[in-house]
Structure 1
């Protein structure tokens, strides 16, 4: 499954800090400094005469319930033609950082709710980026117990909503093996390095047929 970018498409990137990457702290960089900006740059380089618009509404620290709470203003009201979502690792991280548990069922229900709103209100194409973790400490390997069911939920939802799926967890963990160290892909196991962001951007644009 891929997406198609027509000449005047509006592409929305939604998610947490992995998507935000500085867009809120640096107003002159509305796409941030991560994979969203890099993907936009790759599309523009491949199609310099298109009128494709890119919008980033990622917010650091967000869980899927946070996306659901701001979904009208930060997604539906933008009237995007493509909705790209990357969320989930904070739903796991908060469990181990502060004991705030998001069950796999609750995660999937909230995620399904935002995708349903897109489907019911528009013809927008969906691209789901599964959450990922590249463990850099022994403790983080235990996080997989919580994160893996959420990754599986995103894969199910991609099938249910006929969405393109970027299987980021396997992609980045394999990249870490090839690079010789997890820290080369995500310094803290969660937030990608410039190389990690580039790999995400390249995989994203591949799903757009570029």
Structure 2
């Protein structure tokens, strides 16, 4: 069984050691092999042109489609890099192509972030006022809902990472354990998962792939 990861820096496993990224963990859990087609910084719009080369040509059995963390990012007040309706349409387009090649698609929602303030974490890099009045976290939730809608329309599997993470937070796991922080990495990241965060991704996905 070959599992392809098609996404952004989260799929690419930036800051992770070998075997720590969710794609490798997922392949291990399923007893298969993996190919990583994650490219840091990409949106669904950026990634579409490389679908054939990086995914379809490799003929995987399963393709995890993980986008949204960059699509939602504001480029001006109230304006995201990829507008919500286009984001949803892009996902449907990707899944449709995968299904044409008999590749099982798995969409996944977006995990929460540490928003921080003007001095550290998300708002130190992205102007808070561009996300007014609801905040970046609310924008991410809307993109996750679009992912759920796309999965329902396409009839494909969905790993609801957002809900899985929220369930773990409700059980006492700290967001600072799941995301890279000043305390655990020396970096005020607040977006990229730790090895534990990647493990939660893999656990959420495997539950949707085992018949």
Residue of structure 2 in register with 1:13 after alignment: 5
Instruction: Give the total of aligned pairs.
Output: 188
The two structures, once aligned, show a CA RMSD in angstroms of 2.7
Deviation at 1:88, TM superposition (A): 0.4
> Which residue, out of 21, 32, 49, partners 1:34?
21
Residue of structure 2 in register with 1:152 after alignment: 145
Q: TM-score, normalised by structure 1?
A: 0.78
Deviation at 1:164, TM superposition (A): 1.0
Asked if 1:132 is matched to 2:111, the reply is: yes
Residue of structure 1 in register with 2:183 after alignment: none
Residue of structure 1 in register with 2:158 after alignment: 165
Q: TM-score, normalised by structure 2?
A: 0.77
Q: Distance in 2 between matches of 1:20 and 1:94?
A: 22
Residue of structure 1 in register with 2:65 after alignment: 85
Instruction: Select the structure with the greater relative contact order (CA < 8 A; seq sep ≥ 6).
Output: 1
Q: What is the correspondence of 1:30-69 to structure 2 with a 5 Å cutoff?
A: 33-44=20-31, 52-69=32-49
Structure 1: segments with no counterpart, 5+ residues: 1-8, 45-51
Deviation at 1:104, TM superposition (A): 0.3
Q: Distance in 2 between matches of 1:72 and 1:118?
A: 10
User: SS at 2:190's partner residue?
Assistant: coil
Q: Which runs of 4+ in 1 moved over 4 A?
A: 138-141
> Which residue, out of 131, 148, 169, partners 1:176?
169
Structure 2: segments with no counterpart, 5+ residues: 118-122, 129-133, 181-188
Residue of structure 1 in register with 2:84 after alignment: 104
